[in-house]
Amino acid sequence: MKRIAVFTSGGDAPGMNAAIRAVVRTATYHGIEVYGIMRGYSGMIKGEFVRLDSASVSNTVQKGGTILKSARSMKFMTKEGRQQAFDQLVNNGIEGLVAIGGNGTFTGAMIFEEEFGIPTVGAPGTIDNDLYGTDYTIGYDTAVNTALECIDKIRDTADSHDRCFFVEVMGRDSGYIAIPCAIGGGAEIVMIPETQMSTDVVIDTLQSGWQRSKTSFIVIVAEGDEPGNATQVADRVKTAIPQLDTRVTIVGHIQRGGSPTAADRLLASQLGIAAVEGLMNGMRNVMAGIIDKKLVYTPFTDTINKKKLINQSFMRMVEILSV
């Protein structure tokens, strides 16, 4: 393999640049030319390729976002769009791809390889940490620490004014961000998609705390929780417990930005190297990940279709520590 390309796709995550840097420098180390594809699959279709070398990724390991940018491509979901992407890769002599992204990114890569035979190895880049085949995804540690810093500040004002704050964190399909934020932030309740806690349980828990003379509360809500978002849950609680002074804070997209933590820089570097060397060893349609501190390659079919389970003991921790 003489020439490969790397791209980022889907939502940005802190550490993506560290992964790009690792891919470029690993390829250079092994004598392989590497190109960056701008704006993911959209740029692949348009032929937005840039030659990358060691110098071009200098001073990027600490930067948030992605220097290759990201975009969603409806056109790539069509056979015609994928044909155009393949033609661009062939015209530029690209023999293999490193895809940094999440479920949607790997789904596209798997279909693309099945149709046109371009091998792809993925590196898991998503703050949600919801991909099967790795203990942690690139960007997750940073996102949790960013959200937790916000919750610490909210706790101060909740305590000062005897208020109940409903704090919404990211996690459309997963509570992986919400749970450590609840434990580390001293929350009384955490609502995640995996458990589908009813609003009635939230009301009962808050009323019980109020009767024990608790005057301030933090409720962490993952944005994809079944009963609704933080605002909807807070409205129902306010109706049921009118004496409770409620507020809502949505942490939002700041969880995606910022300089990656040391843990994310290390993980991104490990997986960037593993992705390139996986391609060199003939792997295709797999994601590089770390499980129990060991490098593993998981087929895209498993990464996409298998559910990464929440550790239920963490939910019990929230209950015990909120007494």
**Catalytic residue IDs:** 128
The two three-digit tokens of residue 92, written as one number: 């530029």
Handedness of CA 52, 53, 55, 58 (dihedral sign): positive
Name the binding residues for substrate. 126-128, 163, 170-172, 223, 247, 253-256
Q: Which of 21, 92, 24, 88 is nearest to 61 (CA)?
A: 21
One-letter identity of residue 246:
T
Task: Map residue 212 onto helix, strand or coil.
Answer: coil
Q: Which of 65, 315, 23 is nearest to 190 (CA)?
A: 315
Name the binding residues for ADP. 21-25, 155, 186-188, 212, 214-216
The residue count for the chain: 323
Specify burial of residue 280 (Cβ count, 10 A radius: 0-12, 13-18, 19+): middle
Asked whether the beta carbons of 113 and 32 are under 8 A apart, the reply is no
Name the binding residues for ATP. 11, 72-73, 102-105
Euclidean distance between CA atoms 153 and 108, whole angstroms: 40
Buried b (16+ CB within 10 A) or exposed e, 263-276: bbbebbbbbbbbbb
User: Residues near 308 by Cβ (< 8 Å), separated by ≥ 6?
Assistant: 129, 130, 131, 132, 174
Neighbouring C-beta atoms of residue 51, cutoff 10 Å? 11
